Each structure stands twice: as structure tokens, then as C-alpha cells.
A and B are shown apart, each in its own frame.
Chain A
Amino acid sequence: MANITFPFPFPVILPVLPEIIVAVMAMVILIWDLFLPAERKQWTAYAAIATCLVAIDATLRTTGADAQMAFYGQFVLDPFAGFTKLLIIGATIYGIVLSLDYMKSEKNIGEYYSLMLFSMLGMMLMVSATNFIIMYLGLELMALCLYVLVGYQRDVLRSSEAALKYFILGSLASCMLLYGISFLYGLSGSLDFAAVGQALGSLGDNSSMAVSLGLVFIIAGMAFKVSLAPFHMWTPDAYEGAPTPITAFMGVAPKVAGFAILARVVIDALPSLQADYVTIFSWLAVLSMAVGNIAAIAQRNIKRMLAYSTIGHVGFILLGLIAGGPEGYSAMLVYLAVYLFMNMGAFAIIILMRREGIQGELLDDFAGMSKVRPGYALAMGLFMFSLAGIPFLGGFWAKYAVLIAAVHAGHLYLALIGILFSAVGAFYYIRVVKYIYFDEERVAFDFSENPLMQATVAVTAIVVVAIGIFPQPLMDICRAALGGIV
């Protein structure tokens, strides 16, 4: 058999295997949906879950201890990318499971799930990017899908409005990001992170203004995606308007992807600007923790409350990035991982509580839950306490990790401010527990009885408690995940 020779070296594609699987399956589901009779449309959801599981398996198999390059060095699969991909896929699985009942009555549901898969694909590309163009492609793929998903309930006014706002502001943020990238490209002549980093390191003082412009615009564009204040304004509206499973999904997955790529950018492309970006991040972190935790107190709608809660949490996560070094970045990963579980758990309960006619979205709707469903009440209590950072639940160790990293890196005041706002935050989380346990039931509850969702709630609660009692394994994994980048 004659050897086949290519006119150019054949690109390495094994590290991209998970992405390829997801891309192919997303398209298959999109088309398959058209051929399914109405009563079997749910199958697309199970196909999407299966796709995610296969993607997890492929990620685990392809990720090694060393960084593997693909597409001529524009795509990297290292432990950091592998770990964050697992979190993203995990969040997507949660999103799909939470959608099972919630979206049952929607038409063309296969489209919905394939959009989720495409969004996930964008995020997976993003965390593996070593290049501003790939990063931007992934980011836009993720964002475009999310715009559509937020407005998926077209006939609900709130949903369309949220989508439109999100789309307009998101476009503005993308413009800022591109503008910033163009500055850096102009200064360095490259879009590759490492090359940009080298070029910026050798620049003289006279170009500092251009560097600062690039830095601020890139950070502003990224900060929008992870809802850091003051680029957070879209978040409450979009969270409230979106279908609740999408709220849960976009509360976690884009944050993981955003922080992962932000970490990669500052480590590879901006090492010479550390003092500058730490200053900017510090302001953003303080502002986010303040706005998130204080504004959440005034909310009556739990989705809005959790939107502000997210803003507060990303402020905390940013502390890990500010601290930097193995300790800081691994603390950031720990926080993201724990946040995935506790946030998804809380949203799962909210979705389970949906009733015909009444959306279980107001705080009052939780009143007296402990008497009707003590199991759910306990789980919700655990998630709320964990979000508040009460020992010994997962959320405590997440906060502990970023705070101790900040202290070790010399940012004592930031850590103190963080502790202060987490005390403020405890108020509105524990208020939910108060509604659940100490208030009288007003309207009869009507819980969804989907066994898959019930199992999800149970498993999530157990994970949150287990991390709380045995935090070390997770911390070790997160430390190991830094192998490729620090």
C-alpha cells in the first residue's frame, strides 16, 4: 500500500476530539429533531446528555499531564483546559437536566438543546485558545447561542426584552474587546498570547498609553462576560427574563470559561502589566462584591437575587486571579467548581418548585416548604448556607481558598473587604432559609416529580456537603490542573 503524502503537514486533531464530537452531535440533534414526532422530542435532550457524557470521557482520555498543541499552536489542551472543560460540560449537563420538565411544552425543543451544545462548544474552544482570534471565535459562538437561549420563550415579553438587552450590550462589549485586541496587535504584531506577552515585555515607556488602552478595553470586554461590576447591568434583567434552566446554565458555564480565558490571557499575554491589571481587578472585585451583595438584599425575585449573588461571587473569584500564583489560580478553580454545584443545586430547587400559573420565583413562594417537602427544604438550606460560606459546606472552603490566597499574596485589605461583604451576603441567603423553615405556607405547593431531577438535587447536596467535609481532594485536583500554565 502506497504511503499517502500530504502537501502540508496534517494538523494534529486528537486534542480537539471532544470539540469535534460536540460539534457533530449538535448538528445531528438539530436535524434529528425535525424527523421526530412531537411526543418523542424529549429524546433530543437525552441525546444531548449522552453527547456531554461522551465529551467528558473524550476530555478525560485526551487530557494528559503535558500541554498538547493542535492547529499549529492555536489550540492547546493542557490540564487547565481539561479541568475547566469538565466544569463547563458539567454545567451543561445540569442545564439540560433542569430543562427536561421546564421546557417540555416548547416546540422544536431539539433546537434548544443543540443551541446549548453549540454554546458549550464555544466555551470549550475558548478555554483552549492560545490566540486572540480563537478566543474571540469561541466567545462569540457562546454568546450568540446564549442570546437566542435567553429569548427562547418568544411569546413571553420579559424573555424577549431580556434577550434584546443582552444582545445589544453584549455586542458593545464585543466591540470593546476587539478594540482592545487591536491595540495589542498594533503594538506587538501578533495575536498569539505568548508572542504578545514577549512583545509587550520589551516595549519602552513611551507606548504605555496604548498599552493601557488595550488592557482596559480587553478587561472591560471580558468583565462583561463574567458580569463584573460595573459591566454587570445586563445580568439581573437577563437572569430574570431567561428560562430558569438557562439562567442556571449562564450563571455558571460562561463564568468558568470567562475566568479560565482571563487567567490564560493575563498569564501568557499580559505578564509585564501585572501591577496594572491587579489594580484594575481590585477595583472590579470590590465593586462587584459590594454591588452584588448589597443589591441582592433589595430583591424579592429569587432569580434576580441569585443574579446579584453571582455578581458578588465573581468578585470573590476575581480575588483568586488577583492573588495569582499557583495558590491564587487554584483557589479560583476551587471556587468555580464549588460554585457550579451549589448554584446549580439552588436553581434545581427553584425549577422543581414551578407550579401551573404561579412561577416559583418569588421569595414568598418558599414559605413553609419545610413542612411540605422536608427533603427539598434541607437541600435548599444546604445550598443557601454553602453560598453564604458557612462551614462545613463546600462554599466555605471556596471562600477560604480565595481569601487565604489573597492574604498570602499581600492583599490583606481586599480579603478583609471580602469577609465584610460575605457577612452582608449571609443575610439574604439565610433569609431564604428563614422563609423555608419559619414561615407559614400560603399557597399549596406543586412539585415536579421528575426522578432524574430529584436524583440531581440529592447528588448535588451530597457533593456540597462532601466537599465541605473533605475539601482536600478537590484542592489537590485544582492544584494539579495548573500543571500546564503556571
Chain B
Amino acid sequence: MTLSITELLLIPALPLIAALLTGIFGWALKEKLSHLICCIGVIAAAALSVHVFLQVLDGASFHGNIWTWMISDNFIVPVGLMIDRLSAIMMVTVTIVSACVHIYTIGYMHGDPGYSRFFSYISAFTFSMLVLVMGNNFFTLFFGWEAVGLFSYLLIGFWFKRESANVAAMKAFIVNRIGDFGFAIGILAVFYYFGTIEYKAVFEAVPALVAADFSLDFMGWEVSAITFMCVALFIGAMGKSAQVPLHVWLPDSMEGPTPISALIHAATMVTAGVFMVARLSPMFEYSEFALAMVTVIGAITAWMCATIGLVQNDIKRVIAYSTCSQLGYMFVACGVSAYSVGIFHLMTHAYFKALLFLAAGSVIHAVMAEQDIRKMGQLRKYMPVTYITMLIGAIALAGVPPFAGFWSKDMIIEATMVRDMGWASEVAYWAVLSGVFMTAFYTFRMFFLTFHNSDRVDEHAKSHLHESPKVITVPLIILAVGAMLAGWWGVQALGITNAEMANNYFGSAIFVMDAHNPLITLEEHGSHGWYHFIFTAPFWLAIGGIGLAFFMYFRETTHPARIAATFPWLHSFLLDKWRWDEMNWKVLVMPARCLGNILWKKGDLGMIDGKIIHGGIVGTVLAGAAKLRNLQTGYVYHYAFAMVIGVFGLLTYLLLGS
């Protein structure tokens, strides 16, 4: 059974058309028309995605090229779609979260001078993300990859009159360029070795390439071709999905309006790396090294960003570091070959993290753009809907059953425990396990400081305190439902964690070697009753984390200050985010700027502009121009003389020459 091409094409086309309309005619549109166009476009895309998803559940799929963008010798760049169970679940997640964020934006951005522009950007972003997940080749992947990066940049710097927003936007773009460089090299390597960029053909050719044992010499190391490709591609994923050491842009991206943080920097774009690894599972499965690298990088990120989250005071930054950390969990899942669990966590995370961000946005909106949780407190009295939805999101993130986060995160930890990859999986296991405790702690620390504890809101803000309007609370409620049910639904209804790929929701969309599959081992270990979680460490660690947060922050206590005073070095180290920015500044930025300064002042201004251009070329030309001008005396006999000289010269040349 194949899907209707028209329907599939409409899904990305509707947001694109909406974006173009509001982008080009935005100056003439009223706010109402702008958001109507974009919301209708995206909601329709979401409805179509759900329809496609239901058909895909019945076994439908689509694979084919729509048109050829470019042919250059044997380099053929088609634009095509590959709709299977992996892309279908991504489409649903992306469009539903995007639709919620669109509606939310109506309330959040109301009155902003860039209202239409904002809608145009987020619709265009949705289009790009859909291209990324729906494409059937590396080109569409790259196109979507770069396009979401572009819109991320534009949206982080949306309030372009703010210096800090511009700096953050540039930082995000530049750090992503580093990742994209690896990504591009990976794609070029794929084309070099396989001669095609279509997923299907590449995947079919992988085993032969591995069997042929191609290797290349990379800076003195002997690397097998498949490992080279996978590592290069994964470097791209590290940039886009904010993995250490390329994670530094994500917390700064919180300079953008909050709906963006929810849509791009939590639910969709940053998960592109995870999606890519899962999509390319037929390649990664053949490279032990790449899998180990994915696992270790993911584990380090998961653990490190969790520690930073413990002490941050900006409500959005806490959630941002939590995002980095959770992305690490997803990569760990992919690294231990539990791709289906990784995508599962991606989906549940999309719901509860978007919820947390939007709820945080609702809070920020209410307290007059204040983001410091030390200046909040007792907000539950004023904002009951935000309070309850955020509580649901926090519980889901902390991993308490039966909320969404529990199902996926618990599976990741167990899969990591049983998968034997030597030290890599060992490290990863302890990292993700201890991460659970910290996640629960920082989430509820933020939650208690915002909604309970003592009332520290300043007088001016307090006079405006109120629950947010319906356009803001309704998306919160929708996402809260997702955060409650997505996990249970994924496991029970879709069978997303079933061990055998044949029984698994993803079926053939994800390729796992039986020898790698941790879910099979897990199944052999024993049955999974509903009460199973009581015997697992993650559950108790989560409860412990929440309990500790309750003890320290539910009421105003002196514990936090005392602990910080006892370990001042550790506290400031964490507060300064492990001093990554400072290190990058000293090791990379300063030397680059020094070099640039030298080349600019000495090389460009001194040598080229000074000596060569002004001294040499321009001087000669100007002198020549002045001389020629003097020749033009205005006397007829001079002019006639020039003609005669010309004839004489030509004749002489011709007669002497021959």
C-alpha cells in the first residue's frame, strides 16, 4: 500500500506557503491574518501527518523521487520522499508540537513589532524540519539540516536590537558550522564510496563495502571507510544536537523568544542528530568505533549538563541544560543500538520538554520578563493552570511512572546496562544512572523555587500577576496530555520497545544486528510486569532526587546557601558551566582574532591596500588618467595630429613587420 503523493507533498508545502505569504506580505497583514494563515497551514499539516501516520500503522509506506534537482555527470541530486515508520513518527511529533507552539505564539508574541516575521520564520522552520525527516537522500537531509540551522539562527537573533541576542545567534551559527563541516565531509565520503546519495541504495551497499574492508589513511590513522563516514556524520549531529564539546550554543540560544526554545531548541531541531543516527542505523551498526563514540559522547553530555543544571538560576537555562542532558540520553540509546528507544525518548521528550518551556514562558510572561527563579516563588496561587501543567512536565522529566519520561528513560538505562561494549557502555551506564538523580533534583528545584518556597516577586511585577490567556494555556494542556500518555502509549499501543525488530513498531525502518540488540538481552533477563519499576534503581533515584529537592527548596531553608559555602570552588565551577566558554574564548577565539587582526592590519591594510593598491595600481591608473586628460587639449590640430600619428604608427608597424 502506498501513500498519496499529493497528501505527502502538502505536509511540507502548507507551512512553506504560509511562511512565504506572511514573509512577503507581512508588512501589509494585520496580526490576526498573519497568525491565521500560519496556524491553519501548520494545523492542517499536523492533521495530514496524523492521517499519514495512521496509514503507516496499517502498513503503508512511500519511497520515491519527485524530481531531479541537479545532474552533474554521475552526481545526481534527486529530491524524494521516504515515508516509513521512522519518518512518520517524526512528522507527527514535529507537526503537533509545532502546531501547539504556533497557537501559543499568538498570545506570547502579541504586540511585538515583528509579529508576522516571527510567524513566517516558525512556519518556514516547520517546513525545513519536515523536509529533513521526510527526505529519501542525503541531499534533502542536508538541505533540511542547513535550513533548520538558518531559521534557528534567525529566531535566536529575533530581537536583533539586543546585543546579547545577536551574539547568541552568531554563536549558535558558528558552532553549528563546525559540526556541519564534519557532516558535509561525511556526505561527500558517502558519495565517494557509494556513488549515490539515496538512502536505500547506500544502505544496500553498506555490507559489501564493509566486507571489502575499505580503509583510508586519515591524518596518520588507519580508519575503515564506514567508521570515517559515521564519525564525520556524527560530528554534524554533535553540533546540531548540542553534544559536548559543541553544546555551548544551546544554553545561549535561550536569548530567543520562548516559543522558539520550546519548538526548535527542545522538541525538534536539536533532535535532528538523533533522528539522523537512527535513520542511518544500517551504517552505524557496522562501525563499532562510531557506536562507542556516540555512546561515550552522549553519556558525557548527559552527565555534565545535568551537573550544570543543578545550580543554574535562570529558569530557561535550567531547562536548556536539561535538554542537552536528555539529548545525551538519546545518543546513549542509539550508541548501544537501542535506536527505537532513542527515538521513543525523542518523542516523549518533545512533549514534556516543549511543555516545560511553554510553561516557563507562561511564567516569564506573567512576571514581566523576569527569568531568575530567585525572584519568583508562590506563583501557584496566581497561575493554577500553568502550575499543574508544569508539574506534569516536571514529573515526566524526572522519570516518575507512569508519565512519559519514565518509560523511555528507564528503557535507555536498562539497555545500557545489558549491552556489553567494554568500558564505553560501562561509563555510559553510570553516567545515565547518576544523571537520573540529578535530573529529578534540578527539575524540582526549579519547580519549587518558582511555584512554592517564599514569595520573592517584586512589587511592580506582582501588580500584573495573572494567569496567561487561553491561547497560552490550551497548548499547555494539549502537551500535558502528551506528556502523561505518550510513554504508555508508545510501549503498550505501538510496541516501540519490543525486542525483535519484527515485532517492534519500527520494523524494517531501523536496522539492528541481533548481536548488538540490547532489547533481546533485556527480554531474556525476565518479564516486565507493570510493577517492575519498583525494583529498579532509576525509579528510586528519581524519587530520591525529588525528595532532596523537596527537603531543600519546598520551603525557604538555609541548606542551599550552606552547601554552596562549603564547596565554593565546585559551586562556582558548576555555575560557570564547567568554564567551557572561557576555555573556548582563550583557546580558539582569541588566537583566531589575533591572527585575524594581524592579517587585517598588516596584511590587508598595510600590504594590499597600502602598498599594492594605493601605492601601486591606483597610483599608476590615476597618473595615467591625469596624463590622458592632459592629452585632451581641445585643439583640433592636436586631435588631427593624433590621427596622423596613429596612421603613421600602424603603417610603420605593418610595413616593417612584414
The interface of chain A, by Cβ under 8 A from chain B, is 164-165, 168-169, 172-173, 176, 208-209, 212-213, 215-217, 219-220, 223-224, 229-231, 233-234, 236-237, 276, 279-280, 283, 291, 294-299, 424
In the assembled complex, the CB of A308 is this many whole angstroms from the nearest CB of chain B, namely 9
Would A172 and B650 count as touching, CB distance under 8 A?
Answer: no
- Please give 6 more A-B residue pairs, beta carbons under 8 A apart, in addition to A220-B646, A233-B632: A172-B640, A213-B651, A233-B638, A291-B628, A295-B628, A299-B629
Q: For A219, list chain B residues within 8 Å (CB).
A: 650
Q: For B612, list chain A residues within 8 Å (CB).
A: none
B residues 600-628 in Cβ contact with A at 8 Å: 621-622, 624-626, 628
- Say yes or no for B655: interface residue by CB 8 A criterion: yes
In the assembled complex, the CB of A341 is this many whole angstroms from the nearest CB of chain B, namely 28
Q: For A165, list chain B residues within 8 Å (CB).
A: 636, 639
In the assembled complex, the CB of B654 is this many whole angstroms from the nearest CB of chain A, namely 5
- Say yes or no for B216: interface residue by CB 8 A criterion: no
Bound-complex Cα distance A224 to B642 (A): 11
Would B625 and A169 count as touching, CB distance under 8 A?
Answer: no
Q: Which residue of B lies closest to A215 (CB)?
A: B654
Bound-complex Cα distance A54 to B305 (A): 80
**Binary CB contact string for chain B from 627 to 657 against chain A (1 if under 8 A, 0 otherwise):** 0110010101011101101110111011101
Would A233 and B653 count as touching, CB distance under 8 A?
Answer: no
- Say yes or no for B72: interface residue by CB 8 A criterion: no
Q: Which residue of A lies closest to B638 (CB)?
A: A233
Selected A-B contacts with CB under 8 Å, 19 pairs:
A168-B640, A172-B640, A212-B654, A212-B655, A213-B651, A216-B647, A220-B647, A220-B650, A224-B643, A230-B642, A231-B646, A233-B642, A236-B632, A283-B653, A295-B628, A295-B629, A297-B622, A298-B625, A299-B629
Q: For B646, list chain A residues within 8 Å (CB).
A: 220, 223, 229-231
B residues 268-296 in Cβ contact with A at 8 Å: none
Would A216 and B650 count as touching, CB distance under 8 A?
Answer: yes
For the complex, would chain A's binding face be called helix, strand, loop or mixed by DSSP majority? helix
- Say yes or no for B566: interface residue by CB 8 A criterion: no
Q: For A231, list chain B residues within 8 Å (CB).
A: 642-643, 646
In the assembled complex, the CB of B240 is this many whole angstroms from the nearest CB of chain A, namely 33
In the assembled complex, the CB of A66 is this many whole angstroms from the nearest CB of chain B, namely 37
- Say yes or no for B6: interface residue by CB 8 A criterion: no
Would A298 and B651 count as touching, CB distance under 8 A?
Answer: no
Q: For A297, list chain B residues within 8 Å (CB).
A: 621-622, 625
Would A216 and B632 count as touching, CB distance under 8 A?
Answer: no
Bound-complex Cα distance A176 to B640 (A): 12
Q: For A169, list chain B residues within 8 Å (CB).
A: 636, 639-640, 643
Bound-complex Cα distance A280 to B649 (A): 10
- Say yes or no for B658: interface residue by CB 8 A criterion: yes
In the assembled complex, the CB of A448 is this many whole angstroms from the nearest CB of chain B, namely 31
Bound-complex Cα distance A421 to B625 (A): 13
Would A280 and B650 count as touching, CB distance under 8 A?
Answer: yes
The 10 A-B pairs at the shortest CB distance, nearest first, are namely A233-B639, A230-B646, A298-B625, A295-B628, A297-B625, A298-B629, A294-B624, A212-B654, A220-B647, A216-B650
Contact among A168, A209, A234, A295 with B625 in the assembled complex (CB-CB below 8 Å): A295
Bound-complex Cα distance A216 to B651 (A): 6
In the assembled complex, the CB of A423 is this many whole angstroms from the nearest CB of chain B, namely 10
Bound-complex Cα distance A31 to B455 (A): 99
Would A298 and B650 count as touching, CB distance under 8 A?
Answer: no
Q: For B639, list chain A residues within 8 Å (CB).
A: 165, 169, 233-234
Bound-complex Cα distance A223 to B624 (A): 23
Bound-complex Cα distance A233 to B643 (A): 8
In the assembled complex, the CB of B566 is this many whole angstroms from the nearest CB of chain A, namely 62
Q: For A298, list chain B residues within 8 Å (CB).
A: 622, 625-626, 628-629
In the assembled complex, the CB of A102 is this many whole angstroms from the nearest CB of chain B, namely 25
Q: For B651, list chain A residues within 8 Å (CB).
A: 212-213, 216
In the assembled complex, the CB of A58 is this many whole angstroms from the nearest CB of chain B, namely 38
Bound-complex Cα distance A209 to B629 (A): 36
